[in-house]
Structure 1
């Protein structure tokens, strides 16, 4: 008795071959050519049918067998056909004896797959072998095509759809675990199965108009509904993009995205607030935080596999660079407000870092680099190992990266500053991540993601009169996120999850005095953050609409944040607080018409809706709606629009910062005409009555993806954000507090003694600058310096993203890029005239772009990208900087683990800013301490060259 690995066909079928006709079930084996093996003229290359070598050198069609014997193969196939027919008859008889039991086909159970990027043909073979499916296609159809690969838990059909994205091909389900491949018809509408195959994951800055979903980990960006769609634009940067462009960490990756502002928490930004743009625009931890459209690192939500990480430092920033890039499958950036989906902080958008799954290799890597002008000497060592088993898998990554500081003596344009001031800190990062999943039959899947990192930072600030502040900091980040998902009847799932994150930033600041030679420890603080989240959620189908199933996701949970600023010199906390919130949400995806598998005129309409409610211990509740629309008038166009409300809760530092009062003469606040003994009392610090910052967002986009030009995708996006109730210290210029009418609402003239006593009793410290005892009778005015919900920002602009991939010879070229035009203004008080943010010092430029291409041929990959940032205005001095344009390039040589020569080897030579452009000069507001350029937009690194080598086993 012979054994067949798989029965490829369930019904008689005739295959036309170059040398004749072979009927299914026939005992005769025909020698078929590779050019016309399918009924419609295409060749054959399935899992159960593969090409072999004949004595005459011509390919043949063979059946893959577990048993031996060349002449028994077609007989075995006939036996299997007969056996299946008998089994089907018996099953039908049995089912017919059970009243009311409908016939159901065996479910296509998702399974763990890990298929690397590269040749599409090799990827299809790997999918067929791993999933036991049959794929029918002509070898010519996939020749020269590549895929971005996949890693996760997928049903075979979904995995095939993802592998075919950007190839111009579609898969048609022929039944019985058999799929045929063919060119995607031009008539299919946006969002259909064939249209979905056109989306490319290979674009570094590419907007996708369909869902962003990994079924295994249920990591979804922009929607919580499995298979749902998002009306918001999403940038996808895959691991292959990162390797192609020579990036070694996620900080470099996000700084290359034009929609992200490199100010805020960023190692290139001056520390101790010397950038002149407030506490939210300085380097505290040495990490890198997303800061979409310059709204602040606390207004962009950062997730790891869809879970929240703990805040770092003091401004609710999340260090995305703590995640080792070697463990990352892709990062997806949602360019729209999404608080109705994810809750607080998602005002500017959401960054979701998705880890690799089912990694079954060991990779060791080293990298060395440095700046050609000196400094930034880097050494990186990485190790990644993974394993898969029945229904589960584990991946672990460890990274040790060191970078030397850049001193002002190493840059001529910074000679005005005193050595050993650093322009870029020295950093030592140790980071480890682990991700595991395990299926429990077809009942449930358990997951566990964990990460730990420690970042040591060193920077110096030297004054002209001789003292030097030497700052060392240690930031330890921990993250653990267990979860379980139950697979319920009728395609419903129930998920339970918990997340625990901590960030402990310990800072040592020592002041060296040149005149005396003294060295004094002046600061020893801990900025400690903790985050805990518990959540339960379910999703599934409700009913059928003309366009498909109406699906819904519902959930509820609890989140708790803790913040403590502890002074180790005094042994007492200076700031601290806790806050809990309860939340519930519902989201719906309604496909009104145009089923994804229809082949017609391409018309498709989907409506999405979400509603979330949160109740905080401090300021109470918020209700957040979001509505979206996706319309495909033809196969070549997709229109999307969304409207929603988002919010950001006040930081615990803003609410719990130790309150203080100070007594000063009126002249200190710009007052004139007061009595000689008059005084002014000002109170500042935290404000426990702060409410949430609120935003209304509009987004609309038009995507052009012509079927007549496979591989081309272009999308233009318009956005408008009205961001109100921003919390800040409203009087930004103390010397005008009493003279400038825009501050009138924060001045209380002739305050009562009871009011003054209340402010003084609430204060932790009292500062007297008048040289006389406090007398309430002499206080002429009370000045409010506390954080207040008063500012308003308006942000609007246009974004353009595109990619075009085509074959050239036996290689391929991928052209891709993104550009943004931004206009934003701010109004600190109701009486103030709005002033510009975008295009001014320490804010995003009005225009930025990154354009380039990648050429791939065999084992070689070469990329080149141009980065451009417009100039910014220094408003106090009425000067504008020049623009800043740089060129990045990388050359990579890589072999597969199964290659005969140098297996599993990857060598990359990369360079950033190859022409060594120096940052455009400007006059800083503190010339002795701040660098003479805008460090939030332009880098002091200069030309940076690196070489990386890795080996895979």
Structure 2
């Protein structure tokens, strides 16, 4: 909402414009903005709120907006183009709005209704601190009440004020500050990157993972086919998808249940059309939010205020498929006490198959110096002898089925021309590079003022999603064909490798319904304290239908049948049987999953007491949460739940203030602590310390230190124990003798939480000599211990002393004792364990500049992350391995990630381009680096936008009509061949096979 919580007393303070004499003197000395200064402006026709935001962005001046009850805050104003003083510009901009303005000091103005003009210019009461906050454009939300001054209270109903200014703030509505529950403007102890709605549109993103691809603090993003169901997750700093906490409007989400073992949230579940902004905190925050915030926090802020109905349609596609259609409609309804909005979104994306890309069309990677990963089964198939001797009548043990063969009446001599030939196929040709998606979503927000001091709020998000992925073709590999098979021409049992033509591709279908509702009350407790209580319920239910597997029993029966109408004919160049027979071989597997999360939280925040440098601001509260998961899988069913209780507090302590500073304080300390207690594994206490120091107005130096944790998931703790016996296991303790070993897998109720500590230190420079410029550098370090991991049995046997509790041996025989070897190997426990460490550190840098000239508005940005170290210890007695710059199946950590962009807008026309640069790195396989260096790559996106009414003039037909044309990956860069991809042939953590993607987007306001 448009700053409904800013109290009238603060607005009166802005109108008053009162200052300490020495602060006023400092402002006159350092921040001259004379009334005669002219600004080059290019403001399209917009709602009054949006127009004033553009005014502040292009001038650097600060606007406080104070309407009365009758003011239409969605009233359209503008356009305004040219070079004007601030006074002339506002006079023209507000001409048709019925509003007036008043300058309060050299850099601040207030816009108000004429009925409020009787307010004395410099005589309204309010603390100096309040005046300075508002005059400096800082966002300071306090309790909402009637204005104390008679001149302002004369209005029939209390209005609301919004600080429109401060160029660093792209959109000022209700403020949700990621990384703290204490509301603040500007920077905090840890860096937060914000993707505003305008930035999201300029990027041409169609989903939240698309947006996060431009976050350099995320070293890699998996290709769309990597996770089942087309899911996509975030993992800040690359330390695991289960170590980045996802929030919606500041409240955590429940892990997606379809990939239960990952303990992570599928970001595709949230429709991008409903997103107002995305806040990315690249620092640990368990002291604020609790579990999982080890690598960082991503807060998705949903739209709450929609000034006018909006229809948005997008269509795009790549060469050969991946066609995308997205349509959304949003609308809002506001009264004096009620604010509501609703968003409907439909998203559909079609397949892009591997046959459309050369790398998957032919998986013989020997042409790149790699391995031939083609499937030994092809069409027509290949016949082999059982024991490796020559097939009857042939000079080889294998032969390809002759092309064009009917499979009837064949003799061994028919195979003479293909003896020694083996037909292969590329199974990835039928694999989906992009799965097919059909998704419908509804988002509803409502807020109602029950009394002037009590507000109720609610938000609901519903998503119905269906994802279909292709997983290749059906085939038989080394399938035994008995001698009595009516089509077997060799008169003895043989083996066949053949693709089953006529069955179509294997499919994996995933259906999910997700419903999330949050509700609560908030209001003032006193003049300086506020309270909030909120509840949240989230349920997700779904089903997966897999038609990927063939029934071994049915296949063997069909191969052994003596009835030609019921027997499989693998010797034909075509379908091996009737459609009914082939279909009967498929063994569908349907699983159901369900998750539920409930949460209740309550907290107080406000000013505790005054210090000489200012008030101590405090937050104290508690939280209760429970989670339950049901996964109906025939091999690893899970049905369990747990609950959690937490208490937390947070303080912001000003240590030093200066009368000549334009900020609240020069030196401040942030303290936070949180205690979480889980019903199934124990408790964890996590503190956080932050420091902000501003030696001069233009420079902020900051740092933070915190601890964090990630509890073992329900799957890791409670998955059922299963056993399987396997023969031929080499035992190094018994001179590599082969044994039959029983392997145990499943949950481990004795797991402890993963623990981490992190620190950040850096600076933010905003030179006053160059308005609109912001420079940032930040050093970060994360150390994790007790990682929950899976250790391969060969590693355990090679380091048996470290895993004695997981290896069971028989009592040594007398011969064993005489030979000095242990007893026979019986059992190995492969369930997850707490083992290993991970240490990573590096530097983030960012530069952005917003500059308006007579030629338009320019917005260059550059952000980069340099990783100094990413060392892991996963094997006992082995030195740490630094993964930086070396391909890894767990995700490649590049030395650099660099994202740069530049945008330009003028007279309704906008152009933008974004570059995503990745340096070269070393390729690897299971044995380590291969010596091949993968070349650097640069992805270039371009977009053009047109505001039609500004280009050709206003008309009811095209008012508020916007057209966007864009190309992502304009130069059609696809991932190069890499051994680390094995059969896929490329590094799926650092590229994809989609290539160039073009799109067209139309939006129309009503």
Q: Distance in 2 between matches of 1:142 and 1:292?
A: 46
TM-score, scaled to structure 2: 0.70
Residue 116 of structure 1: how far off its partner (Å): 7.9
Match of 1:351 among 295, 298, 317: 298
- Counterpart position of 1:540: 606
- Secondary structure of the residue aligned to 1:655 is helix
Please state if 1:562 is matched with 2:622. Answer: no
- Structure of higher CA gyration radius: 2
What does residue range 149-548 of structure 1 map to in structure 2 within 5 Å? 169-170=107-108, 216=174, 219-227=176-184, 230-263=188-221, 268-270=223-225, 282-312=226-256, 313-314=259-260, 315-371=262-318, 373-415=319-361, 416=363, 417-418=426-427, 419-462=429-472, 465-466=498-499, 468-511=505-548, 515=576, 517-518=582-583, 519-548=585-614
Residue 486 of structure 1: how far off its partner (Å): 2.0
Q: Distance in 2 between matches of 1:451 and 1:355?
A: 10
What does residue range 724-743 of structure 1 map to in structure 2 within 5 Å? 724-731=785-792, 734-739=793-798
Please state if 1:848 is matched with 2:897. Answer: yes
RMSD: 4.0
What does residue range 667-816 of structure 1 map to in structure 2 within 5 Å? 667-668=729-730, 672-673=734-735, 679-731=740-792, 734-739=793-798, 744=803, 747-748=806-807, 750=809, 779-780=824-825, 782-809=827-854, 811-816=856-861
- Secondary structure of the residue aligned to 2:586 is strand
Contact 2:69–2:336 (CA under 8 A) maintained in structure 1 = no
Please state if 1:609 is matched with 2:566. Answer: no
Residue 469 of structure 1: how far off its partner (Å): 2.8
What does residue range 604-683 of structure 1 map to in structure 2 within 5 Å? 604-665=666-727, 667-668=729-730, 672-673=734-735, 679-683=740-744
Q: Distance in 1 between matches of 2:860 and 2:248?
A: 29
Contact 2:229–2:508 (CA under 8 A) maintained in structure 1 = no
Contact 2:729–2:740 (CA under 8 A) maintained in structure 1 = no
- Counterpart position of 1:553: 619
TM-score, scaled to structure 1: 0.74
Match of 1:578 among 641, 660, 673: 641
Closer, same or farther: CA 492–237 of 1 in aligned 2, 3 Å:
same
Contact 2:900–2:915 (CA under 8 A) maintained in structure 1 = yes
Please state if 1:921 is matched with 2:867. Answer: no
- Counterpart position of 1:42: 35
Aligned length: 769
Residue 852 of structure 1: how far off its partner (Å): 1.4
Please state if 1:836 is matched with 2:869. Answer: no
Q: Distance in 1 between matches of 2:139 and 2:672?
A: 28
Q: Distance in 1 between matches of 2:304 and 2:597?
A: 25
- Counterpart position of 1:938: 991
Closer, same or farther: CA 12–689 of 1 in aligned 2, 3 Å:
closer
Closer, same or farther: CA 796–232 of 1 in aligned 2, 3 Å:
same
- Secondary structure of the residue aligned to 1:235 is strand
> Any unmatched runs of 5+ in structure 1?
1-7, 14-38, 46-111, 146-155, 181-187, 200-207, 271-281, 754-776
Closer, same or farther: CA 421–482 of 1 in aligned 2, 3 Å:
same
Report which stretch shifted further, 866-875 or 911-920: 866-875
Q: Distance in 2 between matches of 1:594 and 1:396?
A: 45
Q: Distance in 2 between matches of 1:11 and 1:723?
A: 48
Closer, same or farther: CA 724–125 of 1 in aligned 2, 3 Å:
closer
User: What are the Cα deviations for residues 792-843 of structure 1, in whole angstroms up to 9, with x where unaligned?
Assistant: 1111111111111111215210111211112312112442322233432333
Match of 1:900 among 936, 954, 964: 954
Closer, same or farther: CA 178–578 of 1 in aligned 2, 3 Å:
farther
Q: Distance in 2 between matches of 1:625 and 1:736?
A: 36
Residue 212 of structure 1: how far off its partner (Å): 11
Please state if 1:127 is matched with 2:60. Answer: no
Closer, same or farther: CA 900–510 of 1 in aligned 2, 3 Å:
same
Q: Distance in 2 between matches of 1:749 and 1:853?
A: 62
Contact 2:802–2:876 (CA under 8 A) maintained in structure 1 = no
Q: Distance in 2 between matches of 1:707 and 1:411?
A: 52
Contact 1:215–1:226 (CA under 8 A) maintained in structure 2 = no
Residue 750 of structure 1: how far off its partner (Å): 3.5
Q: Distance in 1 between matches of 2:237 and 2:15?
A: 59
Closer, same or farther: CA 916–9 of 1 in aligned 2, 3 Å:
closer
Contact 2:969–2:996 (CA under 8 A) maintained in structure 1 = yes
User: What are the Cα deviations for residues 512-564 of structure 1, in whole angstroms up to 9, with x where unaligned?
Assistant: 76755235243211232211111111111111123221010011121111111
Q: Distance in 2 between matches of 1:293 and 1:178?
A: 54
Residue 573 of structure 1: how far off its partner (Å): 7.3
- Secondary structure of the residue aligned to 1:260 is coil
